[in-house]
Amino acid sequence: MATLGDVARRAGVSISAVSRVLSDAPGARVSVATRARIKQAAADLAYRPNFAGRALKFARTDVIALVVPDLTNAFATDLMLGVEDEAAARDHMVLLGRSEDLEPDGEMVSRLVGEGRVDGVLVQVADHRLPAELAPLVQAGHPLVFLNSFQPGHLGGAVLDDEAGARLATEHLIALGHRRIAHVGGLPQSFTARRRLAGFEAAMAAAGLPVPGTAVSRLGYVPADGRAALRRLMAADPPPTALVVANVNAALGVLAEARTLGIAVPADLAVVSVHDAWTAENTWPPLTTVKMPTYELGRAAVRALHERLGGGPGRDEVVADPPPRLVLRESTAAPR
């Protein structure tokens, strides 16, 4: 790998001249001839500025990290796109990390920011994590923006309007004529799960519909959780005629388990989920969902992080534009 010195030697000039030219230093007075010689030499040698050299000099990397529990979650696709687009617009690179095991001590984040590998981090905390577990991470005071949750004592978070999303899903079922509607929710400690449940309850209350204790499950966001939830909820007497599922992956499990139990969707049971994904198009029946502005969440999070990096105070933001939108497919219909 060629260095500035190599280029300088080849062009017959000093190192600083090369630096000035190649980094477009403002107000650098360099003759057209030398400038050309330098550019040529750099091209010949396929010169690229050394990352470590720059990082050391500037104490800045222009790299941010995005750490998510499960990168293969369809939720992450749009998020990553949003993060990358906004980062690119600010000439930053994005480094991706998994945090299935984001240790409570925040080792991963410390390694990233503490060792100066990146300037700041976007973290999506796994749903099963308790807020108390994250206290060390929060207290370390790193430039950090939480995705999908606000953390007590920490300013720097970007979340979706989960409540509006769940409300929209619920209202759709109510408009179809359903009255016995149940909720397949996430874990009680999950920030998003609590908000989605609140949205569900708000819509039910607004319509004057009861929500008995047997109409809410709070097991989690993976297909197996959806399966278990369905079995539990359908045991109620009378069983619900419709389901608001808090997460699209759990909804996949709900649909599969409904087939196993011989429950016809949407005839016997209407199903709508919060969050859209490509998988929802390929279920049977195709799944009606509420699409959340996940891409914009990514962009907003990067903006928030940059404010922090620029010395700002940090802030918590609910991403509400565009608002949640119903994607009508075939898993919902009026009750029999």
Partner DNA sequence: GTGAAAGCGCTAACAT
Partner DNA sequence: ATGTTAGCGCTTTCAC
- Which residues of this chain interact with a copy of itself, rule CB under 8 A? 1, 46, 48-53, 55-56, 61, 70-74, 76-77, 80, 84, 93, 95-98, 110-111, 114-117, 223, 252-253, 255-256, 259, 278-279, 281-284, 286
Smallest gap from Cβ 275 to a copy of itself, in A, equals 13
Cα separation, 276 vs 41, in Å, equals 51
**Ramachandran angles phi, psi of 182, nearest 5°:** -110, 165
Considering beta carbons, is residue 40 or 50 the nearer one to a copy of itself? Answer: 50
Pairing relation of β-strands 93-98 and 242-245?
unpaired
Whether residue 163 contacts residue 202, with contact meaning beta carbons closer than 8 Å, is answered with yes
Stretch that binds DNA, among 22-30, 125-133, 134-142, 155-163 (CB under 7 A): 22-30
Q: Under the criterion CB under 7 A, does residue 13 sit at the interface with DNA?
A: yes
Helices 74-89 and 248-261 pack at an angle, to 10 degrees, of: 160
Give which of DNA, a copy of itself, none residue 256 binds (C-beta under 5 to 8 Å, depending on kind). Answer: a copy of itself
Stretch that binds DNA, among 24-32, 189-197, 276-284, 326-334 (CB under 7 A): 24-32
Considering beta carbons, is residue 21 or 193 the nearer one to DNA? Answer: 21
Contacts to DNA from residues 26-55, by CB under 7 A: 28-31, 33-35, 48-50, 52-54
Residue 203: exposed, middle, or buried by beta-carbon count in 10 A (0-12, 13-18, 19+)?
buried
Smallest gap from Cβ 78 to DNA, in A, equals 34
Stretch that binds DNA, among 7-15, 84-92, 122-130, 271-279 (CB under 7 A): 7-15
Whether residue 296 contacts residue 160, with contact meaning beta carbons closer than 8 Å, is answered with no
Total residues belonging to the chain? 336
Considering beta carbons, is residue 28 or 51 the nearer one to a copy of itself? Answer: 51
Q: What is the 3-state secondary structure (H, E, C) of 273-328?
A: EECCCHHHHHCCCCCEEEECCHHHHHHHHHHHHHHHHCCCCCCEEEECCCCCEEEC
Smallest gap from Cβ 22 to DNA, in A, equals 6
Whether residue 232 contacts residue 212, with contact meaning beta carbons closer than 8 Å, is answered with no
Smallest gap from Cβ 29 to a copy of itself, in A, equals 28
Whether residue 252 contacts residue 283, with contact meaning beta carbons closer than 8 Å, is answered with yes
Considering beta carbons, is residue 44 or 205 the nearer one to a copy of itself? Answer: 44
Smallest gap from Cβ 224 to a copy of itself, in A, equals 9
Residue reference for tokens 């330098």: 38
Smallest gap from Cβ 259 to a copy of itself, in A, equals 4
Can you read off the two tokens belonging to residue 226?
């959806």
Residues in contact with DNA by the rule CB under 7 A? 3-5, 12-17, 19-20, 22-23, 25, 28-31, 33-35, 48-50, 52-54, 56-59
